[in-house]
Chain A
Amino acid sequence: MSTTQMLKGILDGCLLAIIKNKEVYGYEIAKKLESYGFASLSEGTIYPLLIRMKKEELVTATSKKSTAGPRRKYYSLTLKGEEALQSFIKRWNGLQNNVNNVLRYESDGEETKGDEHGE
């Protein structure tokens, strides 16, 4: 499975978290993701997600003049977006826990949880 495929859905949550913290525009989001370690990601991947999140009213966008260069489109979180972020955090924590458990117990080769115990 490619990283991009694994990331689907997870990236949504990351974007919500970045946008919640501060009003940001596309290039800024990409830079932040890179600084957190998502260096192999194509930067443009965020735009289809932003379009969908805007359509689902999780974020709003306003175009603002920048000091240098063309106008930028800044994103901020709506109330609905904050709820989506909270729900993502909850689901992610649960999922992360489960995956970690599986990897921890299954990879050391010893007796694992849920094994059938014979007579």
Chain B
Amino acid sequence: MVNEQLGLSEKSKDFLENLRLYLFSSGKNSGEIKEIVEELEVHLYEAEQNGKSVEKIIGNSPKEYMEMISDEMTIDYKTSIKYICLIIFGSFSFRIFPDLLEGNLSYSVLEIAGHIVIGAIFVASIIIGFKYLSTRKQTLKKIIITLIPIMVLPIALFVGLLFLNHSVETPMIQFGHTGSLIVAAVTGIFLIGVSIWAKTWVMVVVVALLTLPDYFLSMTSLSDKMQLMISPWITFAGIAIYLWISFKLEKKRSES
């Protein structure tokens, strides 16, 4: 995060955040990103103290300047692959736990391959979207117009995959009882590991909210139809409440 104590102008702060986003989505080494952003922060601070404009430092095209810096930095393939795996396997876990409640796991080859491909498309669209946003003057409208397609695209593709899976027959992979338990255990360990590593429980919370309402509702005497109607609302409301609470906590932490 940009150092608030320096009292940089909004324009300088925006530039630094955009630079960070641009370099991150270009797959650059995070240590090097931190270094150059901090160095430029110091420069902008001293320049502003002496009454210089941001343009005097970065020239008239922030995009060109960001490219100039990016060209000299090394690409960190290891970290990029780590993030891509996280997103793809993370999306698997959203699927695996709710499916476990229905019984043993079984997926068609098409489903598994499709899942990986959609994950990859999602990652690519995030990278393109972030790069686009970081090099332009951001308005709320532009951010929404960019982010909505990125969010809707994977949902649309998953729905497409669902239909395709019904009409095209590919070999099924049956996991059996022990197999399903092993997959569940591995996914569980993966989720907890990621949460500790990323210092956020958001994935565990979302998986729990996707899985548990169905489970508990199935133990009530409500009709199946009623259960189907209530369950998504509990999930969405739960996620909304979780995000709201974490936002409040984050705000409190940054204020203190």
A-B contact count (CB 8 A): 63
A30 to B71, CA, bound (A): 21
Listed stretches B36-44, B137-145, B216-224; interface member = B36-44
The chain A residue with its CB closest to the CB of B41 is A70
Question: Shortest Cβ distance from A43 into chain B, in angstroms?
Answer: 5
A47-B36, A51-B36 known; A72+B42 contact, CB < 8 A = yes
Which of chain B's residues have a CB closer than 8 A to the CB of A42?
55-59, 65
A113 interfacial contact with B, CB 8 Å:
no
Instruction: Give B73's nearest chain A residue, CB to CB.
Output: A51
Consensus secondary structure, chain A interface: helix
CB-CB under 8 A from A69, the residues of chain B are 6, 42, 45-46
Chain A nearest Cβ from B25, distance in angstroms: 18
CA of A30 to CA of B57 in the docked complex: distance in angstroms? 9
A30 touches B43 (CB 8 A): yes
In contact, A43 and B57 (Cβ under 8 angstroms): yes
Interchain CB contact under 8 A, B6 and A44? no
With A48-B69, A51-B69, A51-B73: A43-B42 Cβ-Cβ less than 8 Å:
no
Report A75 CB to chain B, min CB distance, Å. Answer: 10
* Residues from chain B with Cβ under 8 Å of A26 in the complex: 39, 42-43
A27 to B65, CA, bound (A): 17
Cβ-based interface call for A55 (8 A): yes
Which label, helix, strand, loop or mixed, suits the secondary structure of the B interface? helix
Kindly state the interface size class of chain A when it binds its partner.
10 to 19
| Interchain CB contact (< 8 A) of A44 among B32, B40, B46 | B40
Question: Does any Cβ of A come within 8 Å of B72's Cβ?
Answer: yes
The answer to whether A70 and B42 touch across the interface, beta carbons within 8 angstroms, is yes
User: What chain A residues lie within 8 Å of B52 (beta carbons)?
Assistant: 43
Is B178 among interface residues, defined by CB-CB distance under 8 A?
Answer: no
CB of B6 to closest CB in A, whole Å: 6
Residues of B within 8 A of A44 (CB): 40, 43, 57-59, 65
B9 to A: closest C-beta gap in Å: 15
Q: Report yes or no: A47 in contact with B45, Cβ–Cβ below 8 A.
A: no
Cα-based distance from A19 to B55 in the complex (angstroms): 25
Q: Does A73 contact B (CB under 8 A)?
A: yes
* Complex Cα spacing A48 to B23, Å: 13
Let me know if A32 is at the binding interface, CB within 8 A. Answer: no
Tell me whether A47 and B42 are in contact in the complex, defined as CB-CB below 8 angstroms, given that A42-B57, A52-B72, A55-B72 are known contacts.
no
Are the CB atoms of B6 and A70 closer together than 8 Å?
Answer: yes
Within the complex, what minimum Cβ distance (angstroms) separates B176 from chain A? 53
Contacts of A72 in B (CB 8 A): 42
Say yes or no: is B3 at the interface (Cβ < 8 Å to chain A): yes
Interface residues of A in 22-50 (CB under 8 A from B): 25-27, 30, 42-45, 47-49
Q: Does B47 contact A (CB under 8 A)?
A: yes
Minimum CB–CB distance from B143 to chain A (whole Å) comes to: 25
| 19 cross-chain CB contacts under 8 A | A26-B42, A27-B43, A27-B46, A30-B43, A42-B55, A42-B58, A42-B65, A47-B36, A47-B43, A47-B69, A48-B69, A48-B71, A48-B72, A51-B32, A51-B73, A55-B74, A69-B42, A69-B46, A70-B41
| 6 closest Cβ pairs, A-B complex | A42-B59, A51-B72, A27-B46, A44-B57, A48-B68, A48-B72
Q: Which residue numbers of B lie inside 8 Å of A, CB to CB?
A: 3, 6, 32, 35-36, 38-43, 45-47, 52, 55-59, 65, 68-69, 71-74
